[in-house]
Structure 1
Amino acid sequence: MHAHSPNVGGFSFKRVLLGLILSVIFIHFNFGQELQDGQKRWSSDNKLTLDDFKIKVSDTNNEVAYSQFMMTHAISGLDFMKKNMNQKVENIFLGNASYIDTTRVEDLQKQIDFQQMQFDLAEIQARNFRKSALKDKGQLTKGFDIVNKINNEIMAELTAMRMTLIRETDSGRNEEKLAEWKELIATKLKELDEFRFENKEKIKLQK
């Protein structure tokens, strides 16, 4: 007897998992340059809109909407002296690689909000990355093994978080679970507020 994967939005849960594993890219990036066409940095007051999704129609075998994000970092060995790593890690939405099928979505804003929730999950992990990088900055003098370790942990956790969100909310259709997740996300973002990209103030970590 074979076990069957639960369906999410009408297709294999394993297929969703593979898509999400590939949907968050983490690369070393040289900062100081403008965002490229279709890219959008996470912001608390500049949410995703329909125009941010550059692909408007998808294959009918796919989900009705899909978002891809990119976390970038510019951490160097000299950063062991820094008191704030927030500007060293970015969380970016890739509009040119994200779609929303306007021919199949009944409530566009609701689906956009659901994709925003996933962007928010990525922001939680970006803030956790900044916090961990600051906490372990002393190890940077020994090489970048610590950055790779943090990266692997952050990406694995984010994939698991997105999958749980999709499964528990039935791809955004379960209103009760959606409300629970929105509250959880808001709480986590607030807890990690000092690690937002915009904050350049010195951060003193609790021992």
Structure 2
Amino acid sequence: MKKYTLLLCFLCATVFLFGQEPMEWNPDYELQLSDYQSPESEIDSSLTSYSIYSGSKIDFSFNMNSVSFMFTKNFNSKVRAIFQKNLAVLIAPDSVTANQLLLFGRYDFDLVELYARKIRKKIYEEKGAFSDSKLFQPIFNELQEEMNTVSAQVFKATNFGKDAVMLQKEHNKVKQEINTLSDFCLSCKPKKSKD
């Protein structure tokens, strides 16, 4: 009996840990209200304000020796657009407002994927055989800053996503750009340029 109790505790802990893993961007999945799992998330009619923290971000990491690094050109799999459910916060006084904020959250997650692809592309274009890892940080910083500016501008211009027509227009632009950068998806191998 003790053995089964220990096994059950291990399985529960494993499920809990894996439940906390960040969700990678997927073209076939749209964020849902249930994805905003921070304890601060709530929809409550007594609230007089609303806000969203999307939980979306670009994750960039690699671990390789200098020889492997020198011969690696494609870093697509090292730059990920992720959504952290346990950090995603959505606060709204009603379901209408919550769904407007959710639409902005979906836009923002797609925007993160777009900028992950832009980072992948720029690394692919600029990394030479003798480049070192110092190449990455300026690229990441520049495009991260640009992404944050675009997100803030759309957030303000759409009044927190309340202007659904404008938000949809901006979202369609982002989706189109994602498709344009199809060679730079997480699992893609960019085509060699013909010089």
TM-score of the pair, normalised by structure 1: 0.71
Gap regions ≥5 residues in structure 2? 1-16
Q: Could you tell me whether the CA contact under 8 Å between 1:133 and 1:147 is conserved in 2?
A: yes
Residue in structure 2 matched with residue 113 of structure 1 by the alignment: 103
Residue in structure 2 matched with residue 137 of structure 1 by the alignment: 127
**The 10-residue stretch of structure 1 (47-56 or 148-157) with the greater mean CA deviation from structure 2:** 47-56
Q: Could you tell me whether the CA contact under 8 Å between 1:68 and 1:94 is conserved in 2?
A: yes
Q: CA RMSD in A?
A: 2.7
Q: How far apart in 1 are the matches of 2:33 and 2:50? A: 16
Structure with more helix by fraction: 2
Q: How far apart in 1 are the matches of 2:92 and 2:157? A: 24
Residue in structure 1 matched with residue 136 of structure 2 by the alignment: 147
Structure label with greater radius of gyration:
2
Residue in structure 2 matched with residue 37 of structure 1 by the alignment: 20
Q: How far apart in 2 are the matches of 1:72 and 1:175? A: 29
Q: Could you tell me whether the CA contact under 8 Å between 2:101 and 2:160 is conserved in 1?
A: no
Change (3 A) 1:206 1:120: farther
Q: Could you tell me whether the CA contact under 8 Å between 1:84 and 1:203 is conserved in 2?
A: no
Change (3 A) 1:178 1:70: closer
Q: How far apart in 2 are the matches of 1:158 and 1:35? A: 29
Equivalent residue in structure 2 for 1:50, among 30, 33, 40: 33
Number of aligned positions between the proteins: 172
Q: How far apart in 2 are the matches of 1:136 and 1:53? A: 37
Residue in structure 2 matched with residue 7 of structure 1 by the alignment: none
Q: How far apart in 2 are the matches of 1:132 and 1:35? A: 32
CA deviations 1:108-128 (Å, max 9, x no partner) are 434222101001111111001
Q: How far apart in 1 are the matches of 2:180 and 2:131? A: 30
CA apart distance, 1:107: 4.6
Q: Does 1:87 align with 2:73?
A: no
Q: How far apart in 2 are the matches of 1:48 and 1:40? A: 10
Q: Could you tell me whether the CA contact under 8 Å between 2:59 and 2:81 is conserved in 1?
A: yes
- Secondary structure at the counterpart of residue 203 of structure 1: coil
Q: Does 1:68 align with 2:36?
A: no
CA apart distance, 1:35: 6.4
CA apart distance, 1:83: 4.5
Q: How far apart in 2 are the matches of 1:203 and 1:62? A: 48
Q: How far apart in 1 are the matches of 2:83 and 2:49? A: 20
Q: Which amino acid letter does the alignment assign opposite residue 43 of structure 1?
A: N
**The 10-residue stretch of structure 1 (148-157 or 167-176) with the greater mean CA deviation from structure 2:** 167-176
TM-score of the pair, normalised by structure 2: 0.75
Q: Could you tell me whether the CA contact under 8 Å between 2:49 and 2:93 is conserved in 1?
A: no
CA apart distance, 1:178: 1.6
Q: Percent identity?
A: 22
Q: How far apart in 2 are the matches of 1:138 and 1:198? A: 21
Change (3 A) 1:108 1:180: same
